[in-house]
Amino acid sequence: MWDYTDKVMEHFLNPRNVGEVKDPDGTATVGNISCGDALKLTFKLDDEGRIADVKFQTFGCGSAIASSSVLTEMVKGLTLEEAKEITNKDIVDELGGLPDAKIHCSVMGMEALQAAIANFRGEEFVEHDHEHDDEDSKGNVICHCFGVTDTKIRRVAKENELHTIDEITNYTKAGGACGRCKEDIQEILDGIWNVETPNTETKEKPAALTFAQKVMKVHTVIDNDIRPILERDGGSIELVDLRDNCVIVRLKGRCAACPNSKLTLRNSVEAKLKELVSEDLFVEEVK
């Protein structure tokens, strides 16, 4: 269960400024409904160039709704230059904090605001990276599940002092689905913080597990490493049985109906079990 502040719960239960501004001066939609989070932000300026009205429509969890709601309250009365300075940290601080796994909701709010301002100015919203001011500044997509670019990962990592893949996932969702991009994310982080890649050739092969040890370790990995990732987007997983090296599981929540459930099983669940328990394991699903 997530530990939410009173202010997060207040904005979730009684969100402010829900809807869409009529004839807006600026509008933007960020995120992707198919990935679990999307936000549309619209605003209108007064005669002095200040934000007079702003509304949002969010598809997402309670943290996404609360982050969007509090953001609209924060920007009212500001000039666009003042509003553009608001960061995801400011949104989190205004809410009194967010769970680590929900920080990406505040990032989505910040990006929606910046994109709406760019829309008003007739500009294309580009996630800026000071080290890449050339034609490739838009970046290359690293996480195809959530459409996250290397530019965004670098920017968010630098702005928030992120050093681990889990932190990047918390802030951007990258690496939170199939997991194929995790090596690329680690390479980006190593490049930012100048970390040397460890020599994997010196790693010792782990000792063979007894069947009882294997069962306990599979339980632990599912509970601590796999289920929390799936729960971030409304899914879950249940261990049904372990037969020799066959791990039998049941997907629950959104994961059960997701068209990409087979990819999740192979590239996230099975890959994590192979990494942390045994290379011999494989996964099968029961309904």
Q: In the beta sheet, which residues pair with residue 41?
A: 28, 56
Exactly one of 61, 105, 178, 181 is catalytic; which is it? 105
81-99 burial code (b ≥16 CB/10 A, e <16): eebeebebebbbebbeebb
Exactly one of 35, 145, 181, 258 is catalytic; which is it? 35
What is the enclosing helix (H) or strand (E) of 89? helix 88-95
User: Which residues, 6 or more positions from 216, have their beta carbon under 8 angstroms from its beta carbon?
Assistant: none
Q: Give catalytic status of residue 105 as yes or no.
A: yes
Instruction: Say if strands 26-32 and 37-45 run parallel, antiparallel, or are unpaired.
Output: antiparallel
Six-digit token string for 275: 């990494």
* Class of residue 23 by CB neighbours under 10 A (exposed 0-12, middle 13-18, buried 19+): exposed
Q: Give catalytic status of residue 35 as yes or no.
A: yes
> Would you please indicate which residues are annotated as catalytic (active-site) residues?
35, 105
